[in-house]
Amino acid sequence: MVRRRAEHNNCEIFSLEELSLHQQDIERLEHIDRWCRDLRILYLQNNLIPRIENVGRLKKLEYLNLALNNIEIIENLEGCESLQKLDLTVNFVWSLSSVCSLRGNAHLRELYLVGNPCTQYQGYRAYVIATLPQLQSLDGEPIKRAERIRAEQGLEELRRRVLEQQADQQQKREQDKRVEHKNPTSIVQDGGDQQSPESKAECMQREREFWETPCDFSPESRLEAHRYLEEKRCQRTADKEKKPKKSRTLMAEDGRALNVNESKLGFTLTEDEENNCIQLDLHVP
């Protein structure tokens, strides 16, 4: 996959400076910091990544986009010495105290945490600003000098409140995981065209129930929905392959040649009166 994305670099991955792997259904980060040491920009948004890992040796990395993934904790970025911008928009980060791991990223200027559970904590913005003095912008909003001074003055109280809220959120998260493990949502099985009408109706009903049943938005539910859609896609592909191909008919019963143009080629018919024939010109690309 990485080599395919390196077409603009003559398929050489070791010297890549920018890599886009968004919307690739990636469930784990692997090998990138060994294969692409010169990366400066890495796009990994809209995947299924649950943990930040195997990017810590990217010393030249300046921009990391991990928006729309399943990340819960900010970690393993200490080695990204050149990191300037980190986008974690719409993940599942509940551990706000994990921003402390970014203190050593001296060049970090922009951080995006919009859409994460931790942004609902009272004192969220002030805590992040006080914890990361190198930041210039949080969630797209510039940090003013007066705002930073106020945040730093109240850091101890902010930390206490954040840790209390974080503990509550962690407890809720663990409880949700236990419930999800105990009562997993069943995935609809589709037997394709060989099903009876009643069976198809039942299948459609179960599918409606799958999508309409309320559930918490969590890494597990997001992953389950993805796997459900992937299974349905594979089933449709399998059903399509099972269908017998129609036999090709080139001649009618009375011997007339049929106009069969399966390749959809353009053509013209020219009547040649002098030679008493019709000329067929195919427009082959």
Domain boundary assignment for the chain: 4-170
What would the 3-class secondary structure string for 18-47 be? Answer: EEECCCCCCCCCCCHHHHCCCCCEEECCCC
What pLDDT was estimated at residue 45?
95
- Confidence bin at 193 (pLDDT 50/70/90): very low
114-128, 160-174, 211-225: least confident range: 211-225
| 257, β-bridge pairs | 251
Residues 59 and 79: beta-carbon distance below 8 Å: yes
* Nearest to 229, CA basis, from 209, 202, 210, 203: 210
Question: pLDDT of 212-268, one tens digit each?
Answer: 555 566 788 888 887 778 777 777 777 677 777 666 676 777 877 777 666 677 788
What pLDDT was estimated at residue 279?
86
Spatial distance between the Cα atoms of 108 and 136, rounded to a whole number of angstroms: 8
End-to-end CA, the chain? 30
The 8-class DSSP code of residue 140 comes to: T
What pLDDT was estimated at residue 178?
80
SS3 category, 155:
helix
Spatial distance between the Cα atoms of 160 and 232, rounded to a whole number of angstroms: 47
User: Which residue do the tokens 């009562």 mark?
Assistant: 183
Question: pLDDT of 45-89, one tens digit each?
Answer: 999 999 999 999 999 999 999 999 999 999 999 999 999 999 999
Q: What is the dihedral of CA 52, 71, 73, 60, to 10 degrees?
A: 30
**What are the angstrom distances between the C-alpha of 104 and each of 14, 79, 85, 164, 237?**
26, 9, 14, 25, 49
Q: How many CA atoms lie within 13 A of 210 on its CB side?
A: 21
| Fold entry, domain 4-170 | 3.80.10
What pLDDT was estimated at residue 180?
67
pTM of the predicted model as reported, rounded to 2 decimal places: 0.71
Please tell me which residue, 191 or 89, carries the higher pLDDT value.
Answer: 89
